[in-house]
Each structure stands twice: as structure tokens, then as C-alpha cells.
Amino acid sequence: MTIEVRWGAATHQGRVRSSNQDAVLAGPTVFAVADGMGGHAGGEIASAIAIAGLASVDGPMDSAARVVAALDQVNQEVLLRARADTDLRGMGTTIAGIAIGRDDAVTVFNLGDARAYRFRDHELVQVSEDHSVVAEMVRDGSLSPDAARIHPQRSVVTRALGISEKIEPLVAVHPVVPGDRFLLCSDGLFTEIDGAGLASMLDSDEPIERLAQQLVEGAIDHGGRDNVSVVIVDVQSLESVGGLDEDTSPTNPVVVAPSDDPARKGLITGVPSFDPPGSGSLRLVEACDPTEAT
Ligand code: MG
């Protein structure tokens, strides 16, 4: 079986931050958002290393074990860079993503408070696990989910890439059906738009690349106090792969990093093409700056 997906992605620095420390990986088989942290340029570099590392992992990330191995490898890359440059000490990055599996399943992974959601039958379910101070308070009952969204410590994460030798990612295999829609996002999205708002926006027939932009624009309209990044992945179909001369080699991923790319200052969307299947070329479309949109 092979899972055919379609995706859209967008990222923006928002209204307040002077740089975009988020980075995005869109396809063809791994999708992720990373939200960097650390002084100076550290956050941008940590998220860029993580995304570039995931994009260049040898072999498919088509099982939970391979996803764990890839995250371990990327963690080492961030740690090595932080140790090599005193200006980058303490940098790290949250990450949330999905890897397309061999069978009718995807592997969801995350560290920190970047999130993965599954939208199915008009219902939005968070399939990642928040590793943050406020999430732990919600879990032990000392804070309500609504209070967590506005808590002053809402951005303090308890797990991330690049912080320690040993990582404890959430890695979970989820069977999929055609019509499933996955949303990956940095906290700049869900701190501005609550779950009900995200669900109603995702319940849409808009082209997927436009929908990714609309979510980012929505977060900016609600304040845009943080960098905001979105990847939407739609499961189109599950197909048996025949034995003929099918070209199933991966296409080039869209890597929206590092931030010295001038195009990253604006809104960037990755628009995949699946025509013909298996050889989907990708093009980057720079859209209008939503902060200047009416
Ligand atoms: Mg953030």
C-alpha cells in the first residue's frame, strides 16, 4: 500500500517578532514544523538544523523505530552545533510532524509544544502531546485548558531537540483513511486561534495551499504575537503499488529554512503537484504579506 497525500504549508514571522525562528518541512514523505528558541540567532539556527536534518535522513522514516532514530540523529546535530559555538549555547527547538508509512498509517512525532492534529469527520483531535509547563499543570488538574492558553509561562517547554543527549519524543502510529486531514503547527497558531476556530477553518474545500495561508493569516489577524507556521496534509487515497516500472522515488522536499533566505520574510507556501503521480514537482509561491492585506 502507498498513501497518496497532498499538502500546503505557510509560515510568517507575525506582527511582533523581528525574525522568524520557525522552520517548515513539507514533503514528500515527512512533514514537520519546528519552533526554535535561544538567544541571538540560536532559535533560527536550531529549527533550521532540525528541519534540514529531517529532510536529509538516509532511508525512509516509515516505522516508529526509524522516526525515533531520525530524531536522535537530528538531536545530535543540534547539540553538536550548539557546543561548537558559544553564541549558540542553550539553543533548541520544538518539533511536530508526521512521516508517511509503508502501510495505511502515518507516524506522528513531537517534542515540546508544536502540535499535530487530525481532522476527521468534522472533528479536530490533537494527536501530539504538549511537553510544556502549562500542559503538565493541565494534566494534574491545577490549570484549565482555557487558562493555559493565556498563562504567562505558556511558552516554557519541558522537552525539545538540542537540549540534552537523551530525548523523549512522542512517537505514535496512526492508521489513516482517505479524507483524513493533518494539521501541523507552531504555538503561534493555536495560542491565537482555539480548537473550535481551527476546526471550523479546516472544515473547508479551499485549495490546501490557500487554506494553509488562511490559517496563518487568521493567527495574524488575532494578534500575530509569535511566529506562526502551518502544514496541512490531506490523505487522498491508499493505493496498492503494482510491480510495473513505477517511479516511487521521493521528490525534493520544500525546506523553509534558514531564515537568511529573503523569501522567508514573507509568507511562503509549498504547493505540490502530483501530476504525474510519483514525480510531483514542487514550486514555491510567495504570497502577499497578510499584514498588509485588508
Ligand atoms: Mg512559537
Please give the backbone phi and psi of residue 90, each rounded to the nearest 5 degrees, phi first. Answer: 85, 0
User: From ligand 1's centre to the CA of 233, what distance in Å?
Assistant: 21
User: From ligand 1's centre to the CA of 32, what distance in Å?
Assistant: 14
User: From ligand 1's centre to the CA of 26, what distance in Å?
Assistant: 18
DSSP 54-69: HHT-SS---SHHHHHH
User: From ligand 1's centre to the CA of 161, what distance in Å?
Assistant: 14
Instruction: Give pLDDT tens digits along the chain (294 positions).
Output: 688 999 999 999 999 998 899 999 998 899 999 999 987 778 999 999 999 999 998 888 999 999 999 999 999 999 999 999 998 999 999 999 999 988 899 999 999 999 999 999 999 999 999 999 999 999 999 999 889 888 998 889 999 999 999 999 999 999 999 999 999 999 999 999 999 999 999 999 999 999 999 999 999 999 999 999 999 999 998 876 544 444 444 455 555 543 444 333 333 444 333 232 222 233 333 333 333 333
User: From ligand 1's centre to the CA of 36, what distance in Å?
Assistant: 7
Question: Which amino acid is it at 158?
Answer: T
How does pLDDT run across 206-254, given as a tens digit for each residue? Answer: 999 999 999 999 999 999 999 999 999 999 988 765 444 444 444 555 5
Is the Cα dihedral 83, 84, 88, 91 positive or negative?
Answer: negative
pTM attached to this predicted model = 0.84
User: From ligand 1's centre to the CA of 35, what distance in Å?
Assistant: 5
Q: Rounded CA gap, 173 and 63, in Å?
A: 8
Is the Cα dihedral 201, 204, 206, 208 positive or negative?
Answer: positive
User: From ligand 1's centre to the CA of 20, what distance in Å?
Assistant: 9
